[in-house]
Amino acid sequence: MSSTATRAAQSAAGPASAGTDASVSNPGPSAEQGGPRGPENPQSRGPATDYADYRLVPSRHPWRWVGTAVVALGVAAVAWSLATNPRWEWGVVAQWFTAQSVVNGLVETLKLTAISGALGFILGFILALMRLSASPLLVSVSWTFSWIFRSTPLLVQMLLWYNLGYLYEKISLGIPFTDVRFFEVQTTTLISQFAAAVLGLTLNQAAYSAEIIRGGILSVDQGQLEAAAALGIPAWRRSTRIVLPQAMRAILPTAFNEIIGLVKGTSIVYVLAYSELFYTVQVIYNRTQQVLPLLLVATLWYVVITSVLSVFQYYIERHYSKGAVRTLPLTPLQKARRFFATHAAVTDNRARSAR
């Protein structure tokens, strides 16, 4: 009777308490035997590793240093040649760099650039809007304008405007196809050297600016305009608050390249005998026969102007990059501070490791 009760109790308890043989033949995983790790088995996680005493080892870039050394050697060789070759005549360059005649020519160059650039981009903006309009006539006129002025050299345009008096003796303003005249003047009086230079540079710049602005406007996603129109935002506000801020990111780099090209393009005005920077330098070296030093004077002034424009370009592009990048790009001063702070931290870690 007792043996029967014992067997019934064992069968009711199941295999877990059936005996030691069952528990030995089917052992469960344990932390000591390398069981599964994870949230289901938190006891299997080891203690957190302390990295405080680990030494920081900077990554090695041997080829970067090789390339830097080669470039530095080339720069040093060029600098040494510029400093030691007496034929550069740096004394003559310093003498004429701030001469009154050269400064006056520089002022005329800046004046031509400012007036032609401003008028060119205003006219280019109008032409871009004409090109994007639904009117076939406006589209045709805008396309023809850009086609003509981009197909002819700037030098030819300049000479054509300067000799406009040969084609039209008088320029008048009045009612077309009638004898009513409100204003009339001799063409040779109206189209002076300065007027011909501004006219040629402005119209040539407008042809290129129109395509730059048109491309920037087309780069904005059309879906944003449709969404803004669906919300009932007026067309003018859609253009000024949605389209243009985004289009400026595509327009600015190429537009500044055009302005920089315009600065150098003013040198072509020398064919009109207008006393801008390059023509002034030519007059001086024709008299003194110091050709290379005077050309170097003009070169350095052009480098100064384009460098200042490049700085403006960087900060204006940085301003319009808001909303397009998560963080604004660092300015050169911020990059320098970050560089020195990083290298100071690495130096401190190496000193601590040495101790």
Residues 6+ apart with CB under 8 A from 267: 109, 276, 277, 278, 298
Residue 342 has pLDDT above 70, yes or no: yes
Q: Is 168 helix (H, G, I), strand (E, B) or coil?
A: coil
In DSSP terms, 41 is beta-bridged to 38
Between residues 219 and 339, the one the model is more confident about: 219
Residue 350 has pLDDT above 90, yes or no: no
Element (H or E) spanning 92, and its range?
helix 90-97
Q: pLDDT band at 22, cuts 50/70/90?
A: very low
Closest listed residue to residue 203, CA positions, set 105, 279, 126? 126
pLDDT digits (tens, 9 = 90+) for 122-178: 999 999 999 988 899 999 999 999 999 999 999 999 999 999 888 888 888 888 777
Q: Please report, to the nearest 10 degrees, the dihedral formed by the alpha carbons of residues 22, 26, 31, 35 taken in order.
A: -160
pLDDT at 9: 44
Please report, rounded to a whole number, the percentage of residues in the chain having pLDDT higher than 90.
Answer: 43
Q: How far apart are CA 269 and CA 79, in angstroms?
A: 33
Q: pLDDT band at 211, cuts 50/70/90?
A: very high
CB 159, CB 238: distance < 8 Å: no
Residue 30 has pLDDT above 60, yes or no: no
Q: How far apart are the first and last CA of the chain?
A: 82
Q: How far apart are CA 173 and CA 191, in angstroms?
A: 15
pLDDT digits (tens, 9 = 90+) for 218-248: 888 888 778 888 888 888 888 888 888 888 8
Q: How far apart are CA 206 and CA 257, in angstroms?
A: 14
Q: What is the pTM of this model?
A: 0.72
Highest mean pLDDT among 38-52, 212-226, 242-256, 297-311: 297-311
Using alpha carbons, list the distances in angstroms from residue 244 to 133, 254, 268, 308: 16, 15, 33, 25
pLDDT at 98: 92
Q: How far apart are CA 145 and CA 151, in angstroms?
A: 10
pLDDT at 58: 74
- Total count of residues recorded for the chain: 355
